[in-house]
Structure 1
Amino acid sequence: MGWKGTMRSVVAAARAADREAQRRQKQDQKTQMIANSTSAVEDWENYVENLVSIHIAMVDMIDWQKIASQPGPREPVLGSGHCDRAEMALTKFKPSVFDFLRGGSAKLRALLEAKIDEAAALDQEQYQDALAAHAKAAAEWEDENEFAKRLLRGEAAAIRQVVEEMQSLSETDLVGTSIEFSFGVDFIHAMVKVHGDDIVPSTRRKQLASGRLSETKMPVGQFNELYQDYVSSVALKTAGDLFHILPLSEVYVSCMVTMLNSQTGYQELTPILSIHFVRDAFMRLNLHGIDPSDAMRNFRHAMKFSKTKGFSAVELLEPVETSAAGR
């Protein structure tokens, strides 16, 4: 083969290698595009799922009935462990011909007898420490026992104290921006300032057969229903947390949002959902299987909603006391 033929072969091989490199690059780009699209769709789906399942994660249950009936701590008794061991050591002592190396048998016996007095003092010291610990534990038990009984009687001041100390009610940013509480005898009204409908994605994501990401405008009906489920999920979460930390038979929850008042022309904090939750009915719910909006039908509630317009203002189910603890 002449040099021209050799050059043609070299050029052809280079072009083939370049085409293969371009093919691999396009394949890598497609693989990355598919991976990015898959990840973007999964992120969207997870966000939407979290938005309508806030009610699934609740605070731990507190058994106030158990706390109220718990017996007080037992009083300590004076132990003799140190003294018993010291007396046993004296009982087992036997003089030996080698005792002179340690000062003699009489001296060794005297040391063992002296240790009995030291041991008795240690037993007494431990007993005094146990008495002090018991006094502290008894005082704590008395406070908790009495507090639990006040809660079980439905005292508003005790209910308020528990709510103010339980910061976990607003752990998640998805719940809203603030919660205010009104207290009555054996009931509580929680007013939750939820997020506006901008918390719902305005677009839908799906992955096409080609692997590409498709983003389309969220249909109005689906958008409004997602927001309705979000608000209902917040109401369920709030009621569930309150039932878990308080021995109440009923809880009122009202979800508020800033929206336009067509009569005044101003943006105002407006109730859009108000529910009277009853403990027995709530505890029978399968929270993992319910549709949040449909679950409202299990309780007396006020909600005006349409798929095309979304929420409208409602009246609170119960009058709210003016004194409220805000968070």
Structure 2
Amino acid sequence: MAAASRAAARDAERREKAARKERLLAESAAAVEDWQRHIDGLVSVHATLSKGLDWRRIGAEPQPDAPEKTAVHEEKAKLRLANFRPSLFDFLGGGTSARRAKMEAAVAAGASLDLREFQQRQSDYTAAMCEWDDDTGLARRLLRGEAAAIREVIAEMQALSENDLIGEEIGFSIGESFVHAQPKVHSDEIVPRFRRTQSAGGKVKETPLPVGQLNSLYQDYVASVALKTGGELLQLLPLDEVYVTCFSNLLDLTTGHKGWSPILSVHFTRSGFELLNLAAIDPSDALRNFRHSMNFSKQKGFSKVEPIEVV
């Protein structure tokens, strides 16, 4: 019995060790996956865009049809009354007069129901007319390039305002038929300073990320934010070109203080953007398809640039 007890204890200990090792492997794998997911997210901000709006189609939508007053329920009740013929069952149920009175009351109730349904259709029509007027009016103003209409659409853009990776905030310069977006992107601290891997034994291993790789990842992040911002604007506005200038909180060597400085400025065109396969591009390399201003080196990172002037 003692030998069996010791054997059972050893077996339980082996199972516990195996379970601990399995938990360690799972936790390590999850930690590595979290690191990789964060890195992938930084360089793929641009990968998904909102569904585009066809403002020309919206502006040409026909006006809703006004409802017509009908008497469907009243006419059905009148038809039943006109076809009424007394029978023995009417006498047994209270008499012909009572049955006829019920049917006459049904005619009045049908007329009342027809009126309520018409009033509801009128209410729905009024709401539909307001929506139609707002939508087509906005579309026509956008197609004319009105700055106020552009500002109205941008104010409703959720894809940029709800994306935490875009940065701290986005400013806009808006004029007739042009938009210049100025996102304040996160600093390079958004990129982890380490590389996370899993050792053969299952433990998490973290090694410092070389400066060149760190800066390259940050460059891809900033380029991805620029592509996301430009792409969303082209999706939601009937413009053929937009401007995006990304600002970062850089150290000014002349003053020794940090301040928001432009580090990437891009002139995006619709024709160029439509050629991109967003899921497969390298964000920094994709900027070659557009006129842009960027001063970057792998060892020093970004330097201040002059924003591209809006033509």
TM-score, with length taken from structure 2: 0.91
Q: Shift in Å at residue 319 of structure 1? A: 5.7
Q: Provide, for residues 163-207 of structure 1, a one-character-per-residue CA deviation record: whole Å limited to 9, x for no partner.
A: 112243121211100000010121101100000000001000112
Aligned to 2:200: 209
Aligned to 1:47: 38
- For the pair shown, which has the larger CA radius of gyration, 1 or 2? 1
- C-alpha separation between the residues in 2 aligned to 1:168 and 1:107? 66
User: 2:81 touches 2:100 (CA, 8 Å); kept in 1?
Assistant: yes
Does residue 130 of structure 1 match 2:109?
A: no
Residue type of the alignment partner of 1:198: E
Does residue 34 of structure 1 match 2:25?
A: yes
Q: Shift in Å at residue 26 of structure 1? A: 4.1
Aligned to 2:281: 290
Q: Shift in Å at residue 273 of structure 1? A: 0.4
Q: Provide, for residues 24-43 of structure 1, a one-character-per-residue CA deviation record: whole Å limited to 9, x for no partner.
A: 44444333322222111111
Q: Single out whichever of 243-252 and 228-237 deviates more from structure 2.
A: 243-252
**RMSD in angstroms over aligned alpha carbons?**
2.3
Does residue 300 of structure 1 match 2:291?
A: yes
Residue type of the alignment partner of 1:203: F
Q: When the two structures are aligned, how many residues end up with a matched partner?
A: 311
Aligned to 2:184: 193
Unaligned 5+ segments in structure 2 are: none
Q: Provide, for residues 88-123 of structure 1, a one-character-per-residue CA deviation record: whole Å limited to 9, x for no partner.
A: 211331111332344432443344245334423432
Q: 2:58 aligns with which of 31, 45, 67?
A: 67
Q: Single out whichever of 96-105 and 250-259 deviates more from structure 2.
A: 96-105
Classify 1:121/1:19 alpha carbon distance in 2 versus 1 (closer, same or farther; 3 Å): closer
Q: Shift in Å at residue 245 of structure 1? A: 1.6
- C-alpha separation between the residues in 1 aligned to 2:99 and 2:201? 95
Does residue 85 of structure 1 match 2:85?
A: no
Q: 1:57 aligns with which of 42, 48, 52?
A: 48
Aligned to 2:132: 141
User: 2:195 touches 2:209 (CA, 8 Å); kept in 1?
Assistant: yes
User: 1:65 touches 1:148 (CA, 8 Å); kept in 2?
Assistant: yes
- C-alpha separation between the residues in 2 aligned to 1:115 and 1:23? 84
User: 1:186 touches 1:249 (CA, 8 Å); kept in 2?
Assistant: no
Q: Single out whichever of 87-96 and 196-205 deviates more from structure 2.
A: 87-96
Q: 1:168 aligns with which of 144, 159, 174?
A: 159
Aligned-pair identity (%): 51
Q: Provide, for residues 129-157 of structure 1, a one-character-per-residue CA deviation record: whole Å limited to 9, x for no partner.
A: 32333233223212211111001111101
TM-score, with length taken from structure 1: 0.87
- C-alpha separation between the residues in 2 aligned to 1:229 and 1:302? 15
Classify 1:108/1:256 alpha carbon distance in 2 versus 1 (closer, same or farther; 3 Å): same
Classify 1:27/1:122 alpha carbon distance in 2 versus 1 (closer, same or farther; 3 Å): closer
Residue type of the alignment partner of 1:143: D
Residue type of the alignment partner of 2:60: S
Classify 1:93/1:30 alpha carbon distance in 2 versus 1 (closer, same or farther; 3 Å): same
Aligned to 2:229: 238
SS at match of 1:308: coil
